[in-house]
Structure 1
Amino acid sequence: MEAVIQKVEKEILEILAENPDHFLVEIKIKPTNNIRVFIDGDKGVGIGDLVKYNRNLHKVLEEAGFFPEGDFSLEVSSPGLGEPLKMRRQYQKNIDRFVEIIKEDGSKIEGKLLQVNDSEIIVEETKGKGKKAETITHTVSFQDIKSTQIQIKF
């Protein structure tokens, strides 16, 4: 499957080259030849763009004969809020949003994503409420992050 993923990645990257604000996040292929391609954008990605990418990639995959029997399905979507952040560009576009970080050591940090650079992120965590609230700023290296999820706060 890894060879197929690499071929699909090459093709979708060529398609995405038309719009540098959009980027590939991940490709998953199930044993049933269900291909799931996750695309994000620095300013989000619209449904119209996702439909266009799906049609273009489907045509390329059919013409290239990656699945000789033609027995594949293709889904092109943006990662949902339930999907963890995987790329620095995703962190960048989510500055000022609340995140939950699970570190490699199993510890958890919940707070507002303030900054992102090439090697680390800065998160502001508030513990307690009212006058007893304490703000702690965490600098977390990307290599220490196991997963990061966007948190919805109302």
Structure 2
Amino acid sequence: MSTTQSERLRELLEPLVSSQGLDLEEIEVDSVGRRRVLRVVVDSDEGADLDAIADVSRALSAKLDETDAMGQGEYTLEVGTPGAERELKEHRHYVRATDRLVQFRLADGDDLVARILTVDDEGVDVEVPGVKGRKATARRLAFADVAKARVQVEFNRKETKDMKEEEEA
């Protein structure tokens, strides 16, 4: 059975990323002129700060240097986090997006923007913002009904009860 370079790299690097307390979210190999770029996206439930990214970057670089996983040519290693408008693909992504505003593309083709309230194994409970002075409404979305979901950037993010308690502590 043939495996792609990305799959081989994932098998090589995922245990190392996990040992650093992070999840390996994505691996991408791109050609930029004659050089190649290996982009590795990592995250965790608590997020990944610059120190964690630097540590995992050094560990990945050392591992790649001791193997021929990237071949003999030059390449650049870029390690980062998913970013503000991350696409939600895995269950853990939805959990990490709790209290965030998300744009959902539903399986029936409809679009919905709602805040994730809770996540379980079958789906998400969301709050759909009210329009023109109406109250927000609660709604249940099964994962099977979600074709695509992406976190939205909020400049005036709703303050939750948990956020207030953290600020007061």
Q: TM-score range by the shorter chain?
A: 0.7 to 0.9
Identity of aligned residues (%): 25
- Deviation at residue 82 of structure 1 after TM alignment: 2.5
- Deviation at residue 138 of structure 1 after TM alignment: 2.4
- What is the aligned-residue RMSD (CA, Å)? 2.0
Corresponding residue for residue 49 of structure 1: 52
1:124 pairs with one of 99, 123, 127 = 127
Corresponding residue for residue 135 of structure 1: 136
Corresponding residue for residue 112 of structure 1: 115
Corresponding residue for residue 13 of structure 1: 14
| 1:104-141 superposed Cα distances (whole Å, 9 cap, x missing partner) | 332111111011112211111023233xx143322222
For this pair of structures, how many residues does the alignment match? Answer: 151
Calculate the TM-score normalised by the size of structure 2.
0.79
Corresponding residue for residue 31 of structure 1: 31
8 Å contact from structure 1 (residues 11, 57) kept in 2: no
In the alignment, structure 1 residue 61 sits paired with structure 2 residue 64? yes
Equivalent AA in structure 2 for residue 17 of structure 1: S
Any gaps of 5 or more consecutive residues in structure 1?
none
In the alignment, structure 1 residue 78 sits paired with structure 2 residue 84? no
8 Å contact from structure 2 (residues 123, 141) kept in 1: yes
| Structure 2 CA distance for aligned equivalents of residues 37 and 142 of structure 1 | 26
2:92 pairs with one of 89, 94, 98 = 89
- Stretches of 4+ moved more than 3 A in 1? none
| Structure 2 CA distance for aligned equivalents of residues 142 and 25 of structure 1 | 19
- Deviation at residue 83 of structure 1 after TM alignment: 2.6
Equivalent AA in structure 2 for residue 94 of structure 1: A
